[in-house]
Amino acid sequence: MAVKWDQALSVLAAERYPRLLGRAILLCGDRASAEDLVQEALVSALRTRRTFESVNQAEQYVRRAIASRYIDSVRSASAARRREAATIDASNVPDVAGSVGTAVDLASALRTLAPRNRACVALRYLDGLTTRETADALGLSEGAVKRYLSDGIKALNALLGTDDTADDPSNVMVRKGGVR
């Protein structure tokens, strides 16, 4: 259903907020930064259009804006220092490799990645974006995205015992019940 931006904002602020916050926490690693990130992403996404095809589409815009704003935030030196301090060095995550396969492991492992690697793999696995789409969403070159994806997935494979590749998904399907 087509919705105006403020209608979408009302629904996102109430019903979809936990999901948006969860996405942001995965990227940031802490709730306070994640709350700021969601607020920035809401403004960034909703100012682009006055109406959306649906609330789900508006949410999709916001989810991608969370990743792009996250990248923007770490582009500034001060923010980078702040966020890097929150990044857990792989050598300081002793239980990651030892308890492969749980969600906690993924969250911890994700925080060992540099911000750009983290944003790229999140958009690949959570939204099913291709390399090109990821590049568009984050304002990066395709070549850079390929590099970040490759490095990020390689690091996650090493930590979690998976064997994924950075190949583009051949048929991007959004999960049932996910964002449309």
For other proteins, the binding residues (CB under 8 A) are 1-2, 4-7, 9-10, 12-14, 17-19, 21-23, 25-26, 35, 38-39, 42-43, 46-51, 53-54, 56-57, 100-107, 110, 121-122, 125-126, 153, 156-157, 160-162, 164, 174-175, 180
Q: How many residues are recorded in the chain? A: 180
Rounded CA Rg of the chain: 16
Q: Provide the minimum distance between the beta carbon of 130 and other proteins in the complex, in angstroms, as a whole number.
A: 13
Q: Provide the minimum distance between the beta carbon of 82 and other proteins in the complex, in angstroms, as a whole number.
A: 20
User: Which one, 92 or 102, has the nearer CB to other proteins?
Assistant: 102
Instruction: Give the residue ranges of DSSP H helices in the chain.
Output: 5-14, 17-28, 31-46, 55-75, 77-86, 103-110, 115-127, 131-138, 142-160
Q: Provide the minimum distance between the beta carbon of 164 and other proteins in the complex, in angstroms, as a whole number.
A: 5
User: Which one, 53 or 95, has the nearer CB to other proteins?
Assistant: 53
The CA distances from residue 12 to 19, 33, 38, 99, 167, in Å, are 9, 18, 10, 35, 32
